[in-house]
Amino acid sequence: MRNFLKQTFASLVGSLLGLIIFTGIGTTGLLLLLFAAASSKDSGPEVKDKSVVVFDLSMSITDGEPNSDPIFQKALSGVEENRMALRQVLETVEKARRDPKIVGIYLDATRTDATNSAGYASLKEVRQALEKFRESGKKIVAYGKDWGEKEYYLSSVADTVVLNPLGMMEVNGLSSQPMFLAGAMQKYGIGVQVVRVGKFKGAVEPFILTKLSPENREQTQKLLDDVWSEWRNAVGGSRKIAPQKLQAIADNQALLEAPEAKTRGLVDRVAYVDEVVTDLKKLTASDKDDKTFRQISLSEYAQVPGKSVGLERKSKNEIAVVYAEGEIVDGKGGDGEIGGDRFAKIFNKLRQDKDVKAVILRVNSPGGSATAAEVMQREVRLTRQVKPVVVSMGDVAASGGYWISSDSNRIFAEPNTITGSIGVFGLLFNGQKLANDNGITWDSVKTATYADSQTVSRPKSPQELAIYQRSVNRIYNMFLNKVSQGRKLPESRVAEIAQGRVWSGTAAKAIGLVDEIGGLNTAIEYAAKQAKLGKDWQVKEYPQNSSFEERFFGKATQEAQSALGMKAAEIKPSNPLTAEFQKLQEELATLQKMNDPQGVYARLPFNLKIE
């Protein structure tokens, strides 16, 4: 028995020591790996002479910096994260244009398992950067198997556009297919009451109608027409095809097989990928025996310091770029949300920072909480009194997104930016029928007439609805007044173009809601001139990402999850039915983010998507 206990104890101690040693070595190895990955940022990857930058068009392009560090993510999984910030993409393409070691860009449109989440306004900026690259005399080659409008919008810039012999091209125009939940809510006994201002305020329609109202259909049609017109003009200009011919293809053919796409002038060549690789080997002067051409991915090339080509700036004078991306929510907010209090603190800090000479508010938001938008807008206004504040609108800057933009020195938008939607609404849900049908009832005891007006046990009375309507009217009038003062427009004129109506960037400029057509870099250059900085300035971005150490020790789990698999939103649904379920999931997620303390929202139609 004694020997058994001794052997067991010795075995246990040995196992523990082994585990400690193994863990120590493993941890040390991991830390060394991560240290090496972090250190590699300083020197950057090696770029060989006559290299081609590979731009994967399925890459997810965000406004602000992605939450996860690509170096850290690659160290954990060995796989590069397919996400980059828009400004980083633009700077990397410009760096490639100036770099004598780079001879071309390869636009890879072969991936069909993921989708680029960027909208047409962001893609417009990327397209312009690619056009500038091509104008420098360097080559762009695009290759795809199954092109949609988004991928082809960028690919059409290329000197040579190549389609797989079995490939297809979709040129069938743009559409928006809202999902309506009113029938489901009625079926399951969920009551919905609405208070709103603005005949075009379509955000509430999914909950009270089974199809688009005439007003909502009108505004959606005009928006799609504007975005589609820009697509036809841009693509037609690059491919030397009249916009009318592109319209005829969309109306009569929609899907083009490879030979027909070449006949129509949409592609230059029908070939397999190995044939394209052979051509790129010649461009890069690669050896015939090499497995592929001399290349570097866009995300890897982004880590190459831009000092050698004159892109890095060092200055005490800062232009702050604040990314307001996502739903506007009350309070601090989380990742992917614009927390009113958190962003107000950022502007408060920037206003008092003497090194910050101007502020760019980059808006990519459908809106949300009216209260949170007002908290932010107040800080924007106070900051403008001290230093220039310039707004750059991304894919969407509407409703609450326009609220926070209205009191700036100047507003820039792309032609296909979605903006406007100046209107407010409230949604009042109740579960009376659902509960009663399942044997649940309520009773009430109160000390005043409206003491239980917040209940979800019954519909609101006409008197209670009148109270909510007064609140919505007051906030709408406040919205109109802010736009009137900020844009220097008569309030009667603002009331005429408001009504919750959505506009494209082109239309918004024509009616005075936007000052100038242009992207983020154009807005930054304008701010530098307004602050009289000349060339002596550098950009600093907010909200600031956590440090490498904080990211590793404080958010390791989140990073590991991101490293080990793509998020659901980045995966293209395998079939149309799955896509509709995903759309429903997104609708319900939006409802969860509605946390305005007054229950009043300035937001776009929930499911306004251009496909």
pLDDT at 288: 77
Please identify which of the residues 58, 68, 392, 399 carries the catalytic annotation.
Answer: 399
555, pLDDT greater than 50:
no
Q: What is the mean pLDDT of the chain?
A: 85
Structural tokens at position 455: 């209940």
Write out the E strands in 402-514. 410-413, 418-420, 424-430, 502-504
Please identify which of the residues 95, 124, 150, 201 carries the catalytic annotation.
Answer: 201
Q: What is the mean pLDDT of residues 603-607?
A: 69
Closest CA to 427 of 461, 472, 458: 472
Q: Would you call 291 a catalytic residue per the annotation?
A: no
pLDDT in tens, 188-201: 999 999 999 888 87
Q: Using an 8 Å Cβ cutoff, are 137 and 170 in contact?
A: no
How far is residue 109 from each of residues 106, 261, 388, measured CA to CA in Å? 9, 16, 40
- Number of helices followed by number of strands (H, E) in the chain: 23, 23
418, pLDDT greater than 90:
yes
Closest CA to 249 of 268, 234, 236: 236
For the domain spanning 46-307, the CATH number is: 3.90.226.10
pLDDT in tens, 40-53: 445 678 899 999 99
Question: Where is 206: in which H helix or E strand?
Answer: helix 205-208
- Choose between 256 and 563: higher pLDDT: 256
Closest CA to 89 of 46, 51, 122, 48: 122
pLDDT in tens, 206-241: 889 999 999 999 999 999 999 999 999 999 999 999
Structural tokens at position 365: 């938001």
For residue 569, name the pLDDT band (cuts at 50, 70, 90). Answer: very low
For residue 597, name the pLDDT band (cuts at 50, 70, 90). Answer: confident
Q: Rounded distance, CA 406 to CA 16, Å?
A: 64
pLDDT in tens, 475-484: 999 999 999 9
pLDDT at 45: 86
Q: How far is CA 302 from the centre of its chain?
A: 19
For residue 308, name the pLDDT band (cuts at 50, 70, 90). Answer: confident
Q: Rounded distance, CA 333 to CA 590, Å?
A: 13
pLDDT at 312: 80
Residue boundaries of the structural domains of the chain: 46-307
Query: How many residues would you count in the chain?
Result: 611
How much of the chain, in percent, has pLDDT values that exceed 70?
A: 82
pLDDT at 149: 92
Q: What is the mean pLDDT of residues 395-417?
A: 95
For residue 314, name the pLDDT band (cuts at 50, 70, 90). Answer: confident
Q: What is the mean pLDDT of residues 154-183?
A: 94
Structural tokens at position 267: 């592609």
Contacts of 533 (CB under 8 A, 6+ apart): 317, 319, 357, 358
Q: Would you call 201 a catalytic residue per the annotation?
A: yes
Structural tokens at position 235: 């693509």
Least confident residue range of 156-165, 432-441, 548-557: 548-557
Write out the E strands in 431-584. 502-504, 516-517, 538-542
Torsion 328-331-334-340 (CA) sign:
positive
Least confident residue range of 26-30, 65-69, 315-319, 541-545: 26-30
pLDDT at 4: 41
pLDDT in tens, 325-346: 999 999 999 888 999 999 999 9
